[in-house]
Structure 1
Amino acid sequence: MKKADVIIVGSGIASLQLARHLRKDLNVIVLTKSTLRQSNSSLAQGGIAAAIHEDDHPCSHYLDTMEAGRYINDACKTLQLTTEAPGIIEDLIKDGCQFDHDKNGSLLLGNEGAHSYNRIVHGGGDQTGKRIVQGLISKLTGNITIYENEFVYELQKDITSRCCGVKSKDSAGETHTFSAPHVVLATGGCGQLYSYTSNTESVTGDGMTLAYLAGAEICDMEFIQFHPTLLYCEGKTKGLVSEAVRGEGAVLIDDNGERLMEHVHLLKDLAPRHVVAQTIYAHLQKGHRVYLDIRSISQFEKRFPTVSSLCKSIGLSLKDGLIPVAPGCHFSMGGIRIDDVGRTTIEGLYAIGEAASSGVHGANRLASNSLLEGLVYGKRLAQYINTNLSAHLRAESQRQYHKGPYSLPLPEKEEIQSRMMNHVGIVRSKTDLLLHKEWLESFPIDQLPYFDLSLLTIEQVKLLFMLQTSWLITCSALEREESRGGHFRSDYPYEIEGWKLKQIVQQRTLERREIDEQIKT
């Protein structure tokens, strides 16, 4: 058994931000399923949203976030997030992070969907996540030990039901035990549950299932964001085409060159992601193709090196200025319920980043708020743990396991992904959801809490976790009998009555004016 003061499961921006700000006298262990630099954070092409410009304000950022989240965000937490955003950017700059600047030396602020101001900070064009990850890694100190290719399959609790450690398997299948009074899940989302996704291969919702099996509260799992523009070729998605491309003037067109979003939403191509994704999906379902027209963007390859490299890697020429796109799973707004510092409903267990449901995203995340959330909550949790170290480990509680059999009938990963895309994807219905729930329950996921997972292979456990997380999403999608944000039900297609929506918009407009007046005075 290896002992530590803090165990962090995952190695994305939330994890690295936490490790970076923990006290240097603490023994910190980071366990990552793959390698330190292989995470969604490293792939993040978008930037960080922060109200930095003199004409902008955190309250305006807050209102945009609430509107994108369809007004079910936790209002207090959302305002706290947007208020802390400028300070996060200042911290990163002080740490040496290289962001993009305009010709006058000021931060270059871009625009993305559903933002009312240019407030997106980028690094290296579309390499923001990679730059921040590299910067945070460079700040890690000797008190932090990193174990790569370590798959955590179980959370341990002591006799008082406090989380006190984890069990894991290495790449050779050997089992290890790590103990600590503070255990943090920063495992990311669940994009790889779907056949079309922008997420890296390791992101399959493990943290959500780990917490659920341990008895932690899970919420809002039905809210899955599908990014409108993934590179689409030969029936498969090949990677993300950043929303910043549309922020710079690219537009969506159909086979005939007609603009898709012209009469769909007031913000047109920069409408909230769920609106754009559903519009593209409807066109694809009719047998049409959809393209991102980039011809209006000068020096595209210099401005978007990651997207350009991605297109070249599959032999797609940018000479015509058209990139074929389709929507795919991008972000989970739900997850492990946490408070304003990252505590879950189990003492000693914390969650940050996409694995957590903090309440700041509501039903649909505003563009470029994901890196921001990870950085804000990573720093907050570090400050909390640094001043709350009095917890002591007690004897581990003994779990009662089934003795077998362990020759489980499990589906292939690709079958899970295909069924999730078809039945619990961009458009859902009660019929499809019930069919999928029945299929998921044909596997022994109800017995997961009683399995001795150390007797299974890593691949078996991964598949069981994928099935369990899929079940959580499916059940949540069945329970919410309305369409809202990233959750669209074809049998309940109207999110809210028109007059109510108009009232809300009018109220938000009034609030914005009042805020602007307060700023002036």
Structure 2
Amino acid sequence: MSMDVRNLADRPVIIGGGIAGLMVALHLAPEPVVLLSRSPLGADASSAWAQGGLAASLGDDDEPALHLADTLAAGDGLCDPEAARRILYAAPAAIEELARLGVRFDRAPDGALHLGLEAAHGRRRIVHAGGDGSGREVMRALVAAVRSTPTIEVFEGIEARRLGVEDGRVTGVLASCSTGPVFFATGRVVLATGGIGGLFHDTTNPPGSCGQGLALAARAGAVLADLEFIQFHPTALDGPGRPMPLISEAVRGEGARIVDETGRRFLDCVQGAELAPRDIVARAVWRHLGDGHRAFLDMREKPGATFARHFPAIAAACRSIGIDPAHDLIPIRPAQHYHMGGVAVDLAGRTSIPGLWACGEIASTGLHGANRLASNSLTEAVVCARWVAESVAGSKSCRIVRAIVRELPGPDPAPLRPHLSRALGVTRDGEGLKGAARALLPLAQRYDAASDPAAVGLMIAVAALQRRESRGAHFRTDFPDHAAIARRSEIILDAALAAVRELASSPMLESVF
């Protein structure tokens, strides 16, 4: 049995109910639009889990050019400077727009926005809402706005399985829901499906974020970019739970220190120490753990007794495993947190497939480069959503086609998590990457629940193999230095599969990678 959606034909379809998808839908109003979410809005989106807030140059001592300089430095030579400039110069207006939509940002007694400091930022420019509940508060306001907009048709509990493509352009979305498969006929689709944390054992992301949007784009033939750049947050709460609770960088911005079991501040020899770029801090913590030590956040002195008031969600997570941050050290370890790579797009969100756009974490705009600057991600989603919506609204619809509606299995990343967690972690090496690619090949070529996550993992492994250098969040122990020239990477699924088939048939082959 299938729901009847014929009356929705040719409306733009947005896949994903996080901040990026909701903002695109709101900007498209009053044009009728369809929004697909696998869960109730706000229930299982990475956006709702975001603690750090949004970065924008709003302080009296700040300006967009300084924000841009910090972003380019963190990106380690791979940011697109013009894309970054346009996004960051638009950031202050995006914060004002969210406030108009009802987001209750944290403010000082005089009404001015309270601005926090995070790693690699030269100024206080992080706008928070509800202390460490920024994503949750932004989602609250946006969900309310979407639900009160009559031209946005929301379908919850429905998951996209494939994109319809004919003559090289998008013709619709094949999805699955409780009543069976359904096809949304449309020539305009926006991917806003978030990241890839569900592919890893240690992650701060919802388990459902397993790269399904990347799989949709890849199987449609789209170009993907910079997939090898995966950010590991250095301070995830090292407890028994998975996903792992995040301990926001803002805590270190307020003075918390990273120490080992002896109380030694082992980052004191790193330039910037606790506030160095995330990739540097994550590798330092990872190496110290590898040497047999433990790692902790010490916030007993700073933020101290005020910690629970400023960071209530983190305090609750600590209490759930018997830790009082005002008196105890908090065990930490790096965990997968954000994907800098994604579907290659321009600043209007257009992909290499006509009729397909991408926005948010799934999109590779060039803002983040090799290592995302803290709190730039939500800013990117909010800013780019307007440009994506304008592009979608200004595009021509294609002719409607009839599609064969068939059931496809939902994604299950469990069989490949061990391979990706081992080979594509904080540090990598060629042999480990080749082993993962070979192991993922048969999974990616099957027609079952593991095939889409495996295809995404395989493309990431191939991109990491092809980047024979260390840069930003991509660190190879067998190529520890920068290459002479910084180049962004691009890949399509067919080429990745062909490369790994050749590798599998000739294990000693070096020319492919």
* Same fold, TM-score > 0.5, yes or no: yes
Partners of 2:321 and 2:296 lie apart in 1 by 16
Partners of 2:398 and 2:243 lie apart in 1 by 48
Instruction: Give yes or no for the alignment of 1:334 onto 2:341.
Output: yes
Partner of 2:480: 493
SS in 1 for 2:164: strand
1:442 offset after TM fit, Å?
3.0
Partner of 2:498: none
Measured against aligned partners, the alpha-carbon deviations of 1:87-118 in whole angstroms (never above 9, x if no partner) come to: 00111122221111123321111100100110
Instruction: Give yes or no for the alignment of 1:127 onto 2:129.
Output: no
Q: State which of 124, 134, 151 in structure 2 corresponds to 1:143.
A: 151
Partners of 1:279 and 1:164 lie apart in 2 by 48
Unaligned runs of 5+ in 2: 487-513
Q: State which of 299, 309, 313 in structure 2 corresponds to 1:302.
A: 309
Partner of 2:424: 424
Partner of 1:192: 198
Given residue 469 of structure 1, which amino acid in structure 2 is its aligned partner? Answer: V
SS in 2 for 1:168: strand
Contact 1:156 1:396 in 2 (8 A): no
Partners of 1:94 and 1:30 lie apart in 2 by 22
Given residue 64 of structure 1, which amino acid in structure 2 is its aligned partner? Answer: D
Q: State which of 45, 59, 62 in structure 1 corresponds to 2:51.
A: 45
Contact 2:203 2:242 in 1 (8 A): no
Measured against aligned partners, the alpha-carbon deviations of 1:36-91 in whole angstroms (never above 9, x if no partner) come to: 11200000001100001122110110111111110211110000011000000111
Taking a change above 3 Å as real, the CA distance of residues 464 and 268 of structure 1, as seen in their structure-2 partners, is same
SS in 1 for 2:333: strand
Measured against aligned partners, the alpha-carbon deviations of 1:276-296 in whole angstroms (never above 9, x if no partner) come to: 000111111122110001112
Q: State which of 327, 339, 346 in structure 1 corresponds to 2:353.
A: 346
Instruction: Give yes or no for the alignment of 1:12 onto 2:18.
Output: yes
Taking a change above 3 Å as real, the CA distance of residues 171 and 232 of structure 1, as seen in their structure-2 partners, is farther
Instruction: Give yes or no for the alignment of 1:478 onto 2:465.
Output: yes
Partners of 2:273 and 2:326 lie apart in 1 by 25
Given residue 487 of structure 1, which amino acid in structure 2 is its aligned partner? Answer: H
Instruction: Give yes or no for the alignment of 1:36 onto 2:44.
Output: no
Partners of 1:176 and 1:254 lie apart in 2 by 53
Unaligned runs of 5+ in 1: 452-459, 502-521
1:395 offset after TM fit, Å?
3.1
Partner of 1:73: 79
Partners of 1:377 and 1:350 lie apart in 2 by 11
Partner of 2:89: 83
1:27 offset after TM fit, Å?
2.1
Given residue 388 of structure 2, which amino acid in structure 1 is its aligned partner? Answer: L
Partners of 1:229 and 1:374 lie apart in 2 by 24
Taking a change above 3 Å as real, the CA distance of residues 332 and 32 of structure 1, as seen in their structure-2 partners, is same
Return the TM-score normalized by structure 1. 0.87
Partner of 2:232: 226
Following TM superposition, the consecutive aligned residue runs of length 4 or more in structure 1 with deviations greater than 6 angstroms are none
Taking a change above 3 Å as real, the CA distance of residues 102 and 412 of structure 1, as seen in their structure-2 partners, is closer
Taking a change above 3 Å as real, the CA distance of residues 411 and 200 of structure 1, as seen in their structure-2 partners, is closer
Partners of 1:355 and 1:61 lie apart in 2 by 23
Partner of 1:292: 297
Alignment: residue pair count: 475
Contact 2:185 2:400 in 1 (8 A): no
Measured against aligned partners, the alpha-carbon deviations of 1:286-311 in whole angstroms (never above 9, x if no partner) come to: 22110001112141101001101111
Partner of 1:244: 250
CA RMSD for the aligned pairs?
2.3
SS in 2 for 1:345: coil
Partner of 1:438: 438
1:398 offset after TM fit, Å?
7.9
Measured against aligned partners, the alpha-carbon deviations of 1:455-482 in whole angstroms (never above 9, x if no partner) come to: xxxxx43x22111111011000000000
Contact 1:231 1:237 in 2 (8 A): no
Partners of 2:326 and 2:105 lie apart in 1 by 29
Partner of 1:111: 117
Contact 1:4 1:27 in 2 (8 A): no
1:171 offset after TM fit, Å?
3.6
Taking a change above 3 Å as real, the CA distance of residues 236 and 283 of structure 1, as seen in their structure-2 partners, is farther
Partners of 2:36 and 2:111 lie apart in 1 by 39
Given residue 248 of structure 1, which amino acid in structure 2 is its aligned partner? Answer: E
Q: Which moved more, 1:103-112 or 1:184-193?
A: 103-112
SS in 2 for 1:30: strand
Partners of 1:412 and 1:16 lie apart in 2 by 26
SS in 2 for 1:276: helix
Measured against aligned partners, the alpha-carbon deviations of 1:354-409 in whole angstroms (never above 9, x if no partner) come to: 111111100010000000011011111112223x143232435889x9xxxx9x9x
Partners of 2:152 and 2:193 lie apart in 1 by 18
Return the TM-score normalized by structure 2. 0.88
Given residue 310 of structure 2, which amino acid in structure 1 is its aligned partner? Answer: R
SS in 2 for 1:131: helix
SS in 2 for 1:17: helix
Partner of 2:209: 203
Contact 1:99 1:121 in 2 (8 A): yes
Partner of 2:500: none
Q: State which of 258, 264, 273 in structure 2 corresponds to 1:258.
A: 264
SS in 2 for 1:157: strand
SS in 2 for 1:99: coil
Given residue 350 of structure 2, which amino acid in structure 1 is its aligned partner? Answer: R
Contact 1:34 1:202 in 2 (8 A): no
Identity of aligned residues (%): 38
